[in-house]
């Protein structure tokens, strides 16, 4: 899961970045409102963690402006402001959740997972497609009732495919899901992970290659 963290406090920003990374999040951390707006304009994220007291722009302006431009990613406010009227104001501006500092890292991670599940229409943590079952939280995967062990990249690839079965997923979308914030990716890296995933699932035909476009999950 790719998260944009907007936080100007160096110690806190580093702690959140490392804490979420330990919980299988990919975090891109920026320290100003201008940098946050630039990231939202040029890159796709699954969620944003937004501080309100930024050095250049008030977080509420970033929140309101993002919603006016049609940005739909879940936004979680993380701030020291704990007054009820602040919570109400920012939830009404378009925030999906509001947490106050200090906070528990496990709770932050759980709330982000819940926000992304709701945004994607997931009713529970389980994705089930035919004989495949994947748990987003525990990262457990079963194929025909048998547990299979996947690498992080293989898991992200399968999760992306299972999020919309029978739909053709472009190479760009799958590479974004699998490699996330990595900048140096070999041209055939996606094909290698698809091949490895097919072998572990035990049914090569479950992942169909759509030449010139991408891949589709056809598991029944």
Instruction: Kindly report, residue by residue over 65-90, the tens digit of the pLDDT.
Output: 999 888 889 999 999 999 999 999 99
Arithmetic mean of pLDDT, 48-58: 95
What pLDDT band is residue 96 in, cutting at 50, 70 and 90?
very high
Torsion-angle region of 98 (φ positive above 0: left; ψ -120 to 50: alpha; else: beta) = beta
| Confidence (pTM) | 0.63
The predicted pLDDT at position 177 comes to 81
The candidate with the shortest Cα–Cα distance to 75, out of 38, 50, 41, is 50
Give the 3-state secondary structure of residue 130: coil
Q: What pLDDT was estimated at residue 182?
A: 65
The Cα–Cα gap between 151 and 115 comes to 24
Residue 199 has pLDDT above 70, yes or no: yes
- Distance between the two ends of the chain, CA-based, in angstroms? 26
Query: Is pLDDT of 166 > 80?
Result: no
């Amino acid at each position: 899961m790719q998260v944009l963290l907007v936080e100007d406090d160096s110690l806190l920003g580093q702690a959140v970045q490392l804490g979420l990374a330990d919980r299988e999040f990919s975090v891109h951390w920026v320290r100003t409102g201008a940098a946050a707006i630039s990231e939202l304009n040029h890159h796709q994220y699954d969620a944003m963690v937004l501080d309100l007291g930024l050095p250049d722009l008030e977080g509420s302006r970033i929140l309101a402006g993002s919603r006016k431009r049609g940005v739909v990613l879940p936004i979680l406010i993380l701030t020291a402001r704990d007054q009820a009227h602040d919570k109400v104001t920012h939830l009404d501006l378009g925030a999906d959740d509001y947490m106050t500092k200090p906070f528990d890292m496990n709770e932050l991670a759980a709330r982000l997972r819940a926000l992304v599940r709701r945004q994607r229409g997931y009713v529970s943590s389980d994705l089930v497609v035919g004989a495949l079952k994947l748990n987003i939280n525990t990262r457990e995967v079963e194929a025909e009732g048998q547990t299979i062990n996947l690498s992080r990249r293989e898991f992200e690839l399968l999760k992306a495919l299972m999020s919309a079965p029978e739909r053709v997923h472009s190479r760009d979308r799958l590479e974004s899901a699998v490699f996330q914030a990595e900048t140096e990716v070999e041209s055939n890296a996606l094909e290698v992970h698809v091949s490895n995933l097919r072998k572990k699932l035990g049914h090569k035909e479950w992942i169909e290659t759509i030449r010139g476009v991408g891949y589709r999950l056809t598991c029944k």
